[in-house]
Structure 1
Amino acid sequence: MGVRATIRNGRLVVDQEIKLPEGTELELVIDDEGDDLDERELAALNAAISRSLDQAARGEVNPAEKILARLRERRR
Structure 2
Amino acid sequence: TEKIVGKSNTNAASDLGVAALNLKSGLQGSWLNVLINLSSIKNQDFIAEYKEKGTALLQEGSQLADDIYNEILKTI
Shared fold, TM over 0.5: no
| Structure richer in helix, relative to its length | 2
- Name the larger-Rg structure: 1
| Structure richer in strand, relative to its length | 1
The TM-score with structure 1 as length reference comes to: 0.29
